[in-house]
Structure 1
Amino acid sequence: MGQLDGKTALVTGATSGIGLASARRLVREGATVFITGRRKDVLEGVAAQIGAIGVQADVSDLEALDEVVRVVREHGRGLDVLFANAGGGEFAALPDITWEHYATTFNTNVGGTIFTVQKALPLLNEGASVIITSSNIDVKGSPSFSVYAATKAALRSFTRSWAAELVGRRIRVNAIAPGPIGTPGLRGLAADEAGADALLDGLASGVPMARLGAPEEIADTVLFLAGAGSSFVTGSEIYVDGGASQI
């Protein structure tokens, strides 16, 4: 028997990286898992591969989120786990920040998370677990990544406030703060493959454990927060970063 037999979960941004690894792990633990992604062809392939139900959606599009909620509601069992994972960012030094860069990053990371959780609220069963992807950068300074860092600090704050708001329904709200994780999204921050290799090597050198994390290591933490083992944990942020923000 899996740890999540009979449970229903929604994972946003689940076609690669942390979202994919987490959705796969939840499926293996017995949950019925809904996943979202922006590219229909990729989403359908991933859903078929891992045994999930795909719903095409960009989390910054409120109508798309309404469709996600409609599909989950038709399943008729509500949600026991909501992993609000979708997000992204790109480098921009202070002189180069544009309104578009700011608005796109905040609309996706902050707005997308707010309205994913808000629209899912009626579906959340008593005792459900809401998990938010933050980042260890929310307590660090990083050149040329300030807008992204600010969005993650905002998500940390929302985690505390929502945990307080929802405790009466026994809904737990927690955040995961990954450090540098070996994902396509991380490589995509660089302009080319050589730059990506240099970026990842540089990031790994700043981790006390001297390596990048794997998406599956974040998935392990997602499973912990999704299951009964974290029943007395809410309002918290768990750093999964090889000690980068702590040592």
Structure 2
Amino acid sequence: MDNLKNKVVIITGGNSGIGYATAKQLKEQGATVIITGRRKEAIEKVATELGVYAIVADQSRISDIENLVLKVKNDFGTVDILFINAGIAGLGSIEQATEELFDNIIDINFKGAFFTLSRFIPILKDGASVVFLSSNTASMPGPGSSIYSSSKTALNSIMKSAALELAPRKIRVNSVSPDPTETEVMKKVGLDETAVKSIMDIVVEQKVPLKQMGTASDVAKMVSYISSDASKFITGANIIMDGGMVLA
């Protein structure tokens, strides 16, 4: 379990869900893990719990990203694994979409992710791994998810371009696209636990061939795998983890 020993890992949005699970997984494999988030109290609590480092940074603010990179460079030097995980969900029809909702999702999921990669490139170690957290909705958009799906589709496009640009340095860039996954993201868009369970039960029963939901731990293990030497010939790949949902 120590195959990532002494690797320096950055995980944006690391205080809950997939970010938390990945921080735990990579820490157990011997990595030096730094998590980021907007809420100081939340990330510091998780950092203490997991034995990792915490740096406050809002992915929607380029100045925060640049300050984050500077601090990481000063404190840790170079980065071996960059997991761009921070993101938000949002539901609503195109007709009723507000500029506020559009800007909020795009600023974090697309613009913020883009500039996180952009600003970290100079301190990525040659041979490093970059992983974006995408979503299967990029491959199968549906009603009410136009802005969110578009942000993840854009993310996958960045990933492919980055894989080509960074290949001369042997830096691999991939994305992981889960769903449906047991995380808090649905509650964050205003749905209570009962509503979330009802929706997910229907989705799993009608649209997921494996008839089960994924877990944050499943995604964490995949991030670990594609960041390790076991995947040193994989770059520019979007790995869909959805129990066959895109096939159905």
Report the Cα offset of residue 103 of structure 1: 1.1
The aligned residue for residue 50 of structure 2 is 50
The aligned residue for residue 97 of structure 1 is 97
For residues 68 and 161 of structure 1, the distance between their equivalents in structure 2, rounded to whole angstroms, comes to 24
How far does the alpha carbon of each residue in 1:62-105 deviate from its partner, in whole angstroms, 9 at most, with x for none?
Answer: 12112211221122430000000100121111111111111111
The aligned residue for residue 38 of structure 2 is 38
Structure 1 position 228 matched with structure 2 position 229: yes
Letter paired with 1:222: V
How far does the alpha carbon of each residue in 1:205-224 deviate from its partner, in whole angstroms, 9 at most, with x for none?
Answer: 22111121100000010001
The aligned residue for residue 83 of structure 2 is 83
Letter paired with 2:204: A
The aligned residue for residue 200 of structure 1 is 200
The aligned residue for residue 122 of structure 1 is 122
The aligned residue for residue 244 of structure 1 is 245
Q: TM-score, normalised by structure 2?
A: 0.96
The aligned residue for residue 210 of structure 1 is 211
The aligned residue for residue 12 of structure 1 is 12
2:60/2:111 contact within 8 Å kept: yes
The aligned residue for residue 167 of structure 2 is 167
Report the Cα offset of residue 190 of structure 1: 4.5
Q: TM-score, normalised by structure 1?
A: 0.97
Secondary structure, aligned partner of 1:129: strand
1:174/1:236 contact within 8 Å kept: yes
Q: Aligned in 2, Cα 1:180/1:190: closer, same or farther, shift over 3 Å?
A: farther
How far does the alpha carbon of each residue in 1:159-210 deviate from its partner, in whole angstroms, 9 at most, with x for none?
Answer: 1100000001110000001111100112333532321221221222221111
Alignment of 1:111-190 (within 5 A): 111-190=111-190
2:89/2:186 contact within 8 Å kept: no
For residues 49 and 217 of structure 1, the distance between their equivalents in structure 2, rounded to whole angstroms, comes to 21
Report the Cα offset of residue 229 of structure 1: 0.5
For residues 2 and 213 of structure 2, the distance between their equivalents in structure 1, rounded to whole angstroms, comes to 29
Letter paired with 1:154: A
How far does the alpha carbon of each residue in 1:110-130 deviate from its partner, in whole angstroms, 9 at most, with x for none?
Answer: 011111001111110000000
Letter paired with 2:244: G
Secondary structure, aligned partner of 1:54: strand
2:130/2:172 contact within 8 Å kept: yes
Count of aligned positions: 247
2:88/2:105 contact within 8 Å kept: yes
Report the Cα offset of residue 9 of structure 1: 0.5
Secondary structure, aligned partner of 1:83: strand
Letter paired with 1:182: E
In the alignment, structure 1 segments of 5+ residues that lack a partner are none
**Greater alpha carbon shift after TM alignment, 209-218 vs 61-70:** 61-70
Letter paired with 1:39: R
Letter paired with 2:34: F
In the alignment, structure 2 segments of 5+ residues that lack a partner are none
For residues 178 and 167 of structure 1, the distance between their equivalents in structure 2, rounded to whole angstroms, comes to 25
For residues 154 and 146 of structure 2, the distance between their equivalents in structure 1, rounded to whole angstroms, comes to 12
For residues 105 and 50 of structure 1, the distance between their equivalents in structure 2, rounded to whole angstroms, comes to 29
Letter paired with 1:37: G
1:21/1:215 contact within 8 Å kept: yes
Report the Cα offset of residue 28 of structure 1: 0.6
**Greater alpha carbon shift after TM alignment, 66-75 vs 56-65:** 66-75
**Greater alpha carbon shift after TM alignment, 20-29 vs 66-75:** 66-75
Report the Cα offset of residue 155 of structure 1: 0.7
